[in-house]
Structure 1
Amino acid sequence: MKTTDLLSAHWRKSSHSGGASGQCVEVAETAALIGVRDSKDPQAGHLTMDRAAFADLLVQVKGGALDL
């Protein structure tokens, strides 16, 4: 997977990210890849995964498996 595929991608933030906590992520997608990055520091880099891995991540997040 090439991370350069996401350099020109459109990054978007959830409409639920309007809270005062500032803990937001942005997501971008290409035909094969999903990228996730910190909206407060987009220049710091991003995580890249395929669609199946992203779907698994969403299941874990929504199920509370990753709550700290």
Structure 2
Amino acid sequence: MHSAEHSFTGWYKSSFSGANQGECLEVAVGHPDVPVRDSKTPHGPVIAFSAPHWTTFVAAVVDGRFDA
């Protein structure tokens, strides 16, 4: 984990985030790793995935592997 104080730029809300459900992720583009943060706490911690791990995670979300 990284502190959000790092100067990651290019944040955008993930298309997989819920509209008004409070389950919103933001992802920053243009970095060697893929920084991810909770949109409700933009100054909170950032998790940085390697590009291959991020691709695997997104594929699992799309496949519904995290559905309750």
Query: Normalised by the size of structure 1, how large is the TM-score?
Result: 0.74
**Cα distance, 1:59 vs structure 2:** 0.6
Q: Which residue of 2 aligns with 1:51?
A: 51
Give the fraction of aligned pairs with identical amino acids, expressed as a percent: 30
- Are the structure 2 counterparts of residues 53 and 16 from structure 1 closer, same or farther at C-alpha, using a change threshold of 3 Å? closer
Q: Of the two structures, which has the highest relative contact order with CA contacts closer than 8 Å and spacing of 6 or more? A: 2
Gaps of 5+ in 1: none
Whether the 8 Å CA contact 2:37–2:46 is kept in 1: the answer is yes
In the alignment, structure 2 segments of 5+ residues that lack a partner are none
Question: Alignment RMSD, CA only?
Answer: 2.6
In structure 2, do the counterparts of structure 1 residues 62 and 16 end up closer, same or farther at CA, with 3 Å as the change threshold? closer
- Post-superposition, which runs of at least 4 consecutive aligned residues in structure 1 deviate over 4 A? 15-18
More helix by percentage? 1
TM-score (norm 2): 0.74
